[in-house]
Amino acid sequence: METIRTAICDDSAEEILELKKLIHSVGPSDIHLDAYTNAQTLLDRIDAGAGYDLVFLDIYMRDLNGIETAKELLKRLPDVEIVFVTVSREHAVDAFTVNALHYLLKPATPRQMDEIFTRYERKKERSGGVIIRSGKENFHLRADQIFYIQSQNNGTDIYTENGILHSGMKTATIGEQLPGVFLHIRRGMYINMNYIRRMETDSCVLKNGERVLLSRKGRAEIRGRYKEFIYGTIQGKEV
């Protein structure tokens, strides 16, 4: 399961507190939240290895304004989503230059915050992410976090870099969300081709050493798709 790694950068501690309260009251439960009162501190933390999925930036900061901070953020984290927080629409056009997810006017409302997280989930889903229902919660997983999925106990087990997530969703339903990097090996099982160590005549060997039998009827097609994937990877093409 993926935690949404979120940062707030605003030189007003009071504004940070208000935004934190709003995010925790409206946002998803699987969220990690850090706060910074200085843009350079945020950038230094990222340079030291921190990563974020979503960043709320105040445009009017004393040292480095939000627009310039956003440009520096994108150099370091190309996939980060940025929300500008401001008291004026004056820089709305500038926000488009960095493809901001949202332009939030203070004081922010619960409805606006809900819209931000709705946009975030939709954008991640379109970019190759998968929405998994587990228990009473929805989890967003990036495609590259998933090794494979398999039918299990009237639901689906999702094998990820962080362990196994069980969902009551049908495997075929999850399979419909998966991008082209996933191979439908056999009924009830999809494998991320990046997780395959080698392909054999009637099976494939995964990077954990597990051997998985291929569908008898679809073996030729499966091997053909994997061959195309390997060729595309070597050529540097997207699959």
Q: 117-158 pLDDT, tens per residue? A: 988 887 776 556 687 888 877 787 878 889 999 999 889 999
Instruction: List pLDDT tens digits, range 181-211.
Output: 899 999 999 999 999 999 999 999 999 999 9
Out of 99, 126, 153, pick the residue that ends a domain: 126
Residue 139 maps to a domain:
no
- Selected residue with higher pLDDT from 148 and 29: 148
- Which of 98-107, 144-153, 185-194, 229-238 has the least mean pLDDT? 229-238
Predicted TM-score (pTM) of the model is 0.55
Instruction: List pLDDT tens digits, range 146-157.
Output: 999 999 988 999
Looking at the 3D structure of the chain, how many domains does it have?
Answer: 2
* 239 — pLDDT class (breaks 50, 70, 90): very low
Q: Is 215 helix (H, G, I), strand (E, B) or coil?
A: coil
Residue 21 maps to a domain:
yes
The mean pLDDT value of the chain amounts to 86
DSSP secondary structure code for residue 204 in this structure = E
Domain harbouring 204, CATH code = 2.40.50.1020
Q: At what angle do helices 110-126 and 13-26 cross, to 10 degrees?
A: 70
- Selected residue with higher pLDDT from 75 and 97: 75
**CB-based contacts of 80-83 (< 8 A; 24+ apart in sequence):** 80/52, 80/53, 80/54, 80/55, 81/53, 81/54, 81/55, 81/120, 81/123, 82/54, 82/55, 82/57, 83/54, 83/55, 83/56, 83/57, 83/116
Out of 126, 154, 182, pick the residue that ends a domain: 126
User: Which residues span the domain enclosing 156?
Assistant: 144-235
Do 10 and 122 lie in one domain? The reply is yes
